[in-house]
Structure 1
Amino acid sequence: MRSMSKIVDVVAGTLIAADGRFLLGSRPEGKPYAGYWEFPGGKIEPGETPFEALRREFHEELGITVEAATPWLTKVHVYEHATVRLRFYRVWSWTGEFEMREGQDIAWQVPGELTVGPMLPANGPILKALELPAVLAITCAHEIGEDVILASLAEAPPAAVLVREPGYQMEELARFVREVSARVRPAGGKVFANADPAWLEGLPIDGVHLSEARLMAMDARPDFEWVGASVHGREAKEKAEALGADYLLLGHVKPTPTHPDSAPLGWDGFECRLAEGCPLPVYALGGLSSADLADAYAHGAQGVALMRGAWQ
């Protein structure tokens, strides 16, 4: 058995084009896993920040200069030759012309429609995170009425909707889920539902969302394509990771009517909860609007989850 070596810190970048496509590169001959596909990047050198390493690696490998990037996911992976801690960034803008300076290939890919392979093992799970949108809309029909939400969905269905109606019984929830799905899924959007997984079997949804209490009581991942969870502290975050969740909600970031007596995290507090890194995409939640998206990106979030703000 190979003895555990110290962790090697590596940075990797996901270039995001204006049309939503992302860039993959192949590993050149002479490197471990030659011919496998990955998100470009490399080892963080002593004295470098992750962003400095990202800019250097992209210039050395691809001849481009990274202009704007935000932290995203952090994943530790044990290879046969090394244990690496991968810090993934999303790269939003760059300058220069692509030059394959290591003899590698590159390919622009559409989320959910991979056409190259095989993927480097540590990079594979990142592909699913790329299928999630920047904004997750959460229903609150129990506050503003179903008609308001259904009319909004008919006019402009979001890319992802989480049905959360805590006062609904099973039959009532199933009816509303079907109405939401009929408006969102034909347009290519995803529908998740926050409820007992047993209630949701057979319904036209893409995944289940677990409250923190339900998450902590789970022994195994529910049998859905997508599983999300609400978390507040380290224990719940670690449980979600161990369970194999696909995304998290973390909040509340700003004051919200739902928690009038609870102090908000603020953006610094949100980032602090992710300080050690998280391998799962995390949506910032609580008192936010789409105008907060840039702040969410800057503090390591996947995007923002909007409840009342999604339907105004």
Structure 2
Amino acid sequence: MDQAPLHVLAGALCDREGRVLLAERPAGKHLAGLWEFPGGKREPGETPLVALARELDEELGIALVEAAPLIRVPWRYHERALLLDAWCVTQWRGAPRSLEGQGLRWCLPMQADPATLAPADRAILQALRLPPHYLITPAEVLPAERDFWFERIGHAIEAGERMLQLRLPLWPRESVREFAASLLPLARAHAAQLLLNADIEGARVLGIGVHLTGAQLATLGERPLPLQQIVGASCHDAAQLAQALRLDVDFATLSPVAATASHPQAQPLGWSNFQELAEAAAMPVYALGGMVPAQLAQAQLAGAQGVAGIRGFWSAS
């Protein structure tokens, strides 16, 4: 009979400058030399917050004041399954210091190198990096509407949107790449991420992200871009989420949560099924399909990183 997963708490300490604290695993321990978010296993009878507070006190000498759930990452190291339960810690008393001989360093999430983190902790880093909204351009946009959409996307970025997918199937591929290149200076000035839909080579050339289709997921054997370039994936079921995890993607969209006009034949997941799939995914997952920005809180209660959308998002931007 399989052992129950080891419940491990992790605290992402976020300071006023937006930096997070990473701890280096000491020599002699499993995954020695890799970096992780501080924490440790929950003892019998402890609630997650009590366990996290105790671990942060023992490891760093700080008293936990305020924390909120961030992401739960089911993982397996060799024979042992664990549930890495990460919380965003925004208030504490005392100055963090090394009490167990571990190296410590503060860094901005976007400046941390995922390759230096323990594998299970990479999903925590991505959850810290990713925004709550993911905007996708409508599929029916025509090439003649280029200037209108350049202005509209620019306004969305200036208004605070930080991740946008250029899904423009009616455009020639080179026109989409040129459009993305023209948006890049503004996006980079505002630390916003641009992703091309399905165009891996274009993303590689431009140094931006790519969003993989479900069909691409089935044909790829490895992550298509370096860790420095974001990779998303469209998923509709547990098998596709598992394949996305094997490809080491940074996040997935899971759809349709609700009925949509664009895919009227698709059976909606509903929030209960969405939550079950998202919490087993070991990566940040966006709710997609019939979503609007006002549903963000509901989506996060169901384990989502945030909400993704097309029509409901552009009408609000």
TM value normalised by structure 2: 0.78
What is the deviation of 1:229? 0.6
Matched residue type, 2:250? D
Question: 214, 217, 220: which is aligned to 1:215?
Answer: 217
TM value normalised by structure 1: 0.79
Q: Distance in 2 between matches of 1:163 and 1:118?
A: 30
Asked whether the 8 Å contact 2:25–2:32 carries over to 1, the reply is: yes
**Structure 2 unaligned runs (5+)?**
none
Matched residue type, 1:96? R
What is the deviation of 1:272? 1.3
* Superposed CA offset, 1:29-60 (max 9, x none): 99666776421111122344544433443344
Please give the residue correspondences for 1:15-164 in structure 2 after superposition, counting only pairs within 5 Å. 15-17=13-15, 19-26=17-24, 37-61=35-59, 62-78=61-77, 83=80, 85-91=82-88, 93-98=90-95, 100=97, 102=99, 106-114=104-112, 119-120=117-118, 122-124=120-122, 126-140=124-138, 142-143=140-141, 145-157=145-157, 158-164=161-167
What is the deviation of 1:118? 6.3
Asked whether the 8 Å contact 1:190–1:205 carries over to 2, the reply is: no
| Aligned residue in 2 for 1:181 | 184
**Structure 1 unaligned runs (5+)?**
none
* Superposed CA offset, 1:207-251 (max 9, x none): 221111221122333245332111011111111111222211112
| DSSP-derived class of the 2:295 partner | helix
Asked whether the 8 Å contact 1:255–1:287 carries over to 2, the reply is: yes
What is the deviation of 1:259? 3.0
What is the deviation of 1:191? 1.3
**Matched residues, percent identical?**
36
Deviates more, 1:157-166 or 1:92-101: 92-101
Asked whether the 8 Å contact 1:50–1:87 carries over to 2, the reply is: no
The verdict on how the C-alpha distance between 1:205 and 1:164 changes in structure 2, with shifts beyond 3 A counting, is farther
| Aligned residue in 2 for 1:269 | 273
* Superposed CA offset, 1:245-284 (max 9, x none): 2211112233433234545333332211124x32222122
Q: Distance in 1 between matches of 2:52 and 2:3?
A: 24
| DSSP-derived class of the 2:307 partner | strand
Asked whether the 8 Å contact 1:193–1:205 carries over to 2, the reply is: no
Matched residue type, 1:90? W
RMSD between aligned residues: 3.5
Residues matched between the structures, number: 304
Matched residue type, 2:235? V
| Aligned residue in 2 for 1:247 | 251
The verdict on how the C-alpha distance between 1:203 and 1:308 changes in structure 2, with shifts beyond 3 A counting, is farther
| Aligned residue in 1 for 2:297 | 294
Asked whether the 8 Å contact 2:7–2:85 carries over to 1, the reply is: no
